[in-house]
Chain A
């Protein structure tokens, strides 16, 4: 299987494998298309080939839009150059399942990537493709996690980088970006303003904007989440996935990953039900889902889940279609539910996630409470980022006892409250 060309998702016009992202005929988004070779059908050989690959996303290089194969000169060791992402833990979360009255819940913990979010998957692919195409500067419009990742990949690969962020981003994300030596630009405005600016800049500069002109390559990186989930479940599909929705790209690419492997015979069974998760303060896709619309009306974001604060989601129409087609949904939760979601995940799994993961966990709880999830379902909760990046969200949600260093003071403060 090898990437063959770019294709418009709307009108199916084809384009060469260059830094193109929009169809000139209808303005639809371009997507990578592949040619299935003779390996189709020999499932055993395909699985062995994947399992023989490195412990990172390059084990799936056959299914990614790169022309030079895995990065590096050759072989398993060499494909660890740069900042390899992926192969993050899939953790069985029985205590979370029990709390929600579910049978089987798994947490895909993508905070365990090099810069602590799933963005390392998409940036690894985009940065590698940028190099193949001869670019010397990486750039992006970011809600924070992408900024971290682009700056870090630039440093690891020796490429200059420039990242544009909304000025009101969390301090942790700003600090964790600047340290890599990138050109950090804070834009007065929302993410959507930053995105518009980058779309304009992209036309004027010979830079690889990973989520603008490199977007067809970048977005494919998210399929590796699906590949890993399936491989970690023993080459099986889950019944349901709960995934955060910002632009909608991750949501639809996870499903595309499952679909491609079903088509090759690597997986059997139905596509999982796909549940999208948004914050009420920025819920253009959830609102359109509830209203029965096919397109999203843009909104001005106002939520603590800043990494999901995209008011004008590029893949909104496709996310709506996917949720409906699989019998899933797109739901929204408020800021208080997000905080409770962060605490619920932390206190039942030991995984501390950022606000986006709070959104996803809170939506899982909402689905469970609403009775949407069948008693025999195997559910995967996709946790995309790290709690240390959004510390403000948990500040003031618990108390610390301050005591004198004596046993008496300790007993007086805690009594029999621990381990009782």
Chain B
């Protein structure tokens, strides 16, 4: 399933300068793995040593924070948009 991943400015240098990219996967974890397969440097930026999301990284599927869904197991549909954003804004 093709999913469009939107990459924040802070990670674009580690993603070959891409602002968005299309990868395959059935859930968020698979999509991120496919992204890491393409840009290995991104793994350490997005995941901590335990393989979970760093605490200041937010991931959204179709605009909804995946922590309100099933986290990394959240399923994605063909044509879904997955957005990675820094969590430190606001207030």
Which residues of A are at the interface with B, using a C-beta cutoff of 8 A?
10, 21-29, 141, 191-193, 195-196, 198-200, 202-203, 209, 211-212, 215, 219, 246-250, 295, 297-298, 300, 310, 312-315, 317
Contacts and interface: CB of A to CB of B under 8 A. Distances in A.
9 smallest CB-CB distances across A and B, nearest first, come from A247-B91, A29-B88, A22-B86, A195-B90, A249-B91, A27-B56, A212-B89, A203-B9, A314-B88
A211 B14 CA distance: 25
A213 to B, nearest CB: 9
Given A27-B54, A27-B56, A298-B67, A211 B91 contact: yes
A195 B86 CA distance: 11
B91 A28 contact: no
Contacts of B55: 295, 317
Query: Which of A28, A246, A248, A249 has the most chain B CB atoms inside 10 A of its CB?
Result: A28
A27 B88 CA distance: 8
Contacts of B86: 21-22, 27, 199
**Interface of chain B, main secondary structure:** mixed
Interface residues of B, number: 27
Contacts of A212: 89-90
Query: Which of A196, A215, A295 has the most chain B CB atoms inside 10 A of its CB?
Result: A196
20 contacts: A24-B13, A26-B45, A26-B56, A27-B46, A27-B57, A28-B56, A192-B90, A195-B90, A196-B60, A200-B83, A202-B89, A211-B89, A215-B91, A247-B91, A250-B91, A310-B90, A312-B58, A315-B88, A315-B91, A317-B55
Nearest to A246: B91
Interface in B35-91: 45-46, 54-58, 60, 63, 65, 67-68, 83, 85-91
Contact of A24 (B11, B54, B85): B11
B8 interface: yes
Nearest to B19: A203
A209 B86 CA distance: 14
Contacts of A26: 45, 54, 56
B60 A22 contact: no
Contacts, number: 94
A10 B57 CA distance: 13
A298 B65 contact: yes
A30 B68 CA distance: 27
B17 to A, nearest CB: 13
Contact of B65 (A200, A247, A250, A312): A312
Contacts of A297: 67
A21 B88 contact: yes
Query: Which of A21, A202, A203, A215 has the most chain B CB atoms inside 10 A of its CB?
Result: A203
B45 A25 contact: yes
Nearest to B11: A24
A312 B58 CA distance: 10
Given A295-B55, A297-B67, 19 more contacts: A10-B56, A21-B89, A24-B10, A24-B45, A26-B54, A26-B56, A27-B45, A27-B46, A28-B56, A141-B90, A196-B83, A200-B6, A203-B8, A209-B89, A212-B89, A246-B91, A298-B67, A314-B87, A314-B88
Contacts of A246: 91
Contacts of A295: 55
Nearest to B6: A200
A192 B87 CA distance: 10
A199 B45 contact: no
Contacts of A312: 58, 65, 87, 90
A249 to B, nearest CB: 4
Contacts of A215: 88-89, 91
A202 B86 CA distance: 12
A314 B89 contact: yes
Nearest to B12: A203
Contacts of A315: 88, 91
Contacts of A25: 45
Nearest to B65: A298
Contacts of A22: 8, 10, 56, 86, 88
A191 B45 contact: no
A68 B86 CA distance: 29
A193 B11 contact: no
A238 B1 CA distance: 59
